[in-house]
Amino acid sequence: MKLILALCLSLFALTSQAVVDGHKYPFDNKVDKERFEVLAAELRCPKCQNQNLADSNAPVASDLRDKVYELMIEGQTDDEIVGYLVARYGDFVRYNPPVQKNTFFLWFAPGTMVLIAIIVIISITRGGKKSQPLSEEEKAKLAKLQAARREKQDS
Protein backbone atom coordinates (compact mmCIF):
# COMPACT_ATOMS: atom_id res chain seq x y z
CA MET A 1 0.00 0.00 0.00
CA LYS A 2 2.82 2.39 0.89
CA LEU A 3 4.50 1.61 -2.43
CA ILE A 4 1.36 2.51 -4.39
CA LEU A 5 1.01 5.75 -2.43
CA ALA A 6 4.66 6.63 -3.09
CA LEU A 7 4.24 5.93 -6.83
CA CYS A 8 1.10 8.10 -7.02
CA LEU A 9 2.81 10.96 -5.21
CA SER A 10 5.84 10.76 -7.49
CA LEU A 11 3.59 10.91 -10.56
CA PHE A 12 1.87 14.02 -9.24
CA ALA A 13 5.27 15.61 -8.57
CA LEU A 14 6.25 15.16 -12.21
CA THR A 15 3.36 17.33 -13.37
CA SER A 16 4.59 20.26 -11.27
CA GLN A 17 8.07 20.32 -12.81
CA ALA A 18 7.45 23.20 -15.20
CA VAL A 19 4.54 25.53 -15.77
CA VAL A 20 5.52 26.61 -19.27
CA ASP A 21 5.31 23.35 -21.13
CA GLY A 22 7.07 23.22 -24.47
CA HIS A 23 4.56 20.68 -25.81
CA LYS A 24 1.62 22.96 -25.09
CA TYR A 25 3.20 25.82 -27.01
CA PRO A 26 4.79 24.37 -30.16
CA PHE A 27 6.87 26.81 -32.19
CA ASP A 28 8.36 26.43 -35.65
CA ASN A 29 11.77 27.69 -34.59
CA LYS A 30 13.91 28.13 -31.51
CA VAL A 31 13.90 31.95 -31.75
CA ASP A 32 10.12 32.14 -31.25
CA LYS A 33 10.30 29.67 -28.37
CA GLU A 34 12.96 31.78 -26.64
CA ARG A 35 10.97 34.93 -27.36
CA PHE A 36 7.91 33.36 -25.71
CA GLU A 37 9.97 32.33 -22.68
CA VAL A 38 11.38 35.86 -22.32
CA LEU A 39 7.91 37.41 -22.54
CA ALA A 40 6.53 34.93 -20.01
CA ALA A 41 9.41 35.76 -17.66
CA GLU A 42 9.06 39.56 -18.06
CA LEU A 43 5.30 39.73 -17.53
CA ARG A 44 3.77 39.53 -14.04
CA CYS A 45 0.82 37.37 -13.08
CA PRO A 46 -2.06 39.70 -12.10
CA LYS A 47 -3.18 37.33 -9.35
CA CYS A 48 0.11 36.15 -7.85
CA GLN A 49 1.78 39.58 -7.91
CA ASN A 50 5.29 38.29 -7.16
CA GLN A 51 5.45 35.64 -9.85
CA ASN A 52 5.89 35.98 -13.55
CA LEU A 53 3.70 34.20 -16.09
CA ALA A 54 6.25 31.43 -16.52
CA ASP A 55 6.33 30.55 -12.80
CA SER A 56 2.69 31.00 -11.87
CA ASN A 57 0.20 28.14 -11.65
CA ALA A 58 -2.79 30.49 -11.40
CA PRO A 59 -5.52 30.03 -14.02
CA VAL A 60 -5.23 33.68 -15.10
CA ALA A 61 -1.50 33.17 -15.74
CA SER A 62 -2.28 30.14 -17.87
CA ASP A 63 -4.82 32.19 -19.81
CA LEU A 64 -2.29 34.98 -20.31
CA ARG A 65 0.37 32.52 -21.52
CA ASP A 66 -2.19 31.20 -24.01
CA LYS A 67 -2.95 34.75 -25.13
CA VAL A 68 0.75 35.60 -25.52
CA TYR A 69 1.17 32.44 -27.62
CA GLU A 70 -1.89 33.31 -29.70
CA LEU A 71 -0.65 36.86 -30.35
CA MET A 72 2.79 35.56 -31.29
CA ILE A 73 1.27 33.12 -33.78
CA GLU A 74 -0.70 36.05 -35.26
CA GLY A 75 2.66 37.74 -35.91
CA GLN A 76 2.52 40.55 -33.36
CA THR A 77 5.75 42.04 -32.04
CA ASP A 78 6.82 41.94 -28.40
CA ASP A 79 5.85 45.61 -27.96
CA GLU A 80 2.39 44.95 -29.39
CA ILE A 81 1.89 41.96 -27.09
CA VAL A 82 3.02 43.88 -24.02
CA GLY A 83 0.87 46.83 -25.13
CA TYR A 84 -2.17 44.56 -25.38
CA LEU A 85 -1.63 43.23 -21.86
CA VAL A 86 -0.91 46.69 -20.43
CA ALA A 87 -4.10 48.03 -22.01
CA ARG A 88 -6.04 45.27 -20.31
CA TYR A 89 -4.25 44.98 -16.92
CA GLY A 90 -2.34 48.26 -16.61
CA ASP A 91 1.39 48.77 -16.02
CA PHE A 92 1.18 46.34 -13.09
CA VAL A 93 1.54 43.45 -15.54
CA ARG A 94 5.12 44.60 -16.25
CA TYR A 95 7.95 43.87 -13.85
CA ASN A 96 9.68 47.07 -15.00
CA PRO A 97 7.01 49.73 -15.53
CA PRO A 98 8.03 52.76 -17.61
CA VAL A 99 8.91 56.09 -16.00
CA GLN A 100 5.71 58.13 -16.12
CA LYS A 101 3.97 60.67 -13.91
CA ASN A 102 2.22 57.97 -11.92
CA THR A 103 5.39 55.82 -11.52
CA PHE A 104 7.84 58.66 -10.89
CA PHE A 105 7.76 58.14 -7.11
CA LEU A 106 8.26 54.38 -7.55
CA TRP A 107 11.44 54.90 -9.57
CA PHE A 108 13.06 57.81 -7.73
CA ALA A 109 11.89 57.62 -4.10
CA PRO A 110 14.44 55.00 -3.01
CA GLY A 111 17.38 57.01 -4.35
CA THR A 112 15.99 60.20 -2.85
CA MET A 113 15.58 58.54 0.56
CA VAL A 114 19.16 57.24 0.48
CA LEU A 115 20.44 60.70 -0.44
CA ILE A 116 18.47 62.30 2.41
CA ALA A 117 19.80 59.68 4.84
CA ILE A 118 23.40 60.39 3.76
CA ILE A 119 22.89 64.14 4.19
CA VAL A 120 21.40 63.64 7.67
CA ILE A 121 24.25 61.34 8.72
CA ILE A 122 26.87 63.79 7.46
CA SER A 123 25.17 66.73 9.16
CA ILE A 124 24.95 64.84 12.46
CA THR A 125 28.57 63.71 12.42
CA ARG A 126 30.02 67.02 11.26
CA GLY A 127 27.44 69.43 12.59
CA GLY A 128 28.63 69.60 16.22
CA LYS A 129 29.55 73.05 17.52
CA LYS A 130 33.23 73.69 17.59
CA SER A 131 34.37 74.71 21.07
CA GLN A 132 36.17 78.02 21.45
CA PRO A 133 38.71 78.69 24.20
CA LEU A 134 37.37 80.48 27.29
CA SER A 135 38.01 84.18 27.64
CA GLU A 136 39.75 85.51 30.74
CA GLU A 137 36.45 86.71 32.16
CA GLU A 138 34.86 83.25 31.67
CA LYS A 139 37.90 81.58 33.25
CA ALA A 140 37.52 83.80 36.32
CA LYS A 141 33.80 82.98 36.63
CA LEU A 142 34.58 79.26 36.32
CA ALA A 143 37.24 79.48 39.01
CA LYS A 144 34.76 81.25 41.36
CA LEU A 145 32.10 78.60 40.74
CA GLN A 146 34.56 75.76 41.35
CA ALA A 147 35.76 77.39 44.58
CA ALA A 148 32.17 77.86 45.77
CA ARG A 149 31.40 74.23 45.00
CA ARG A 150 34.45 73.00 46.95
CA GLU A 151 33.44 75.11 49.96
CA LYS A 152 29.93 73.70 49.81
CA GLN A 153 31.28 70.13 49.68
CA ASP A 154 33.67 70.70 52.58
CA SER A 155 30.93 71.97 54.86
Q: Give yes or no for residue 4 having a pLDDT over 80.
A: no
What does the pLDDT average to over 30-58? 87
pLDDT at 12: 55
Residue type, 32: D
Domains of the chain: 15-93 (1.10.8.640)
Paired residues of 43 in beta bridges? 94
- Could you read off the pLDDT of 100-142 as tens digits, one per residue? 787 778 788 899 999 999 999 988 888 766 678 888 999 999 9
pLDDT at 116: 96
Which residues fall within 8 angstroms of residue 102, CB to CB, at 6 or more apart? 91
Q: Please give the C-alpha separations between residue 18 and each of 15, 76, 112, 124, in angstroms, as whole numbers.
A: 7, 26, 40, 53
Q: How far apart are CA 40 and CA 18, in angstroms?
A: 13
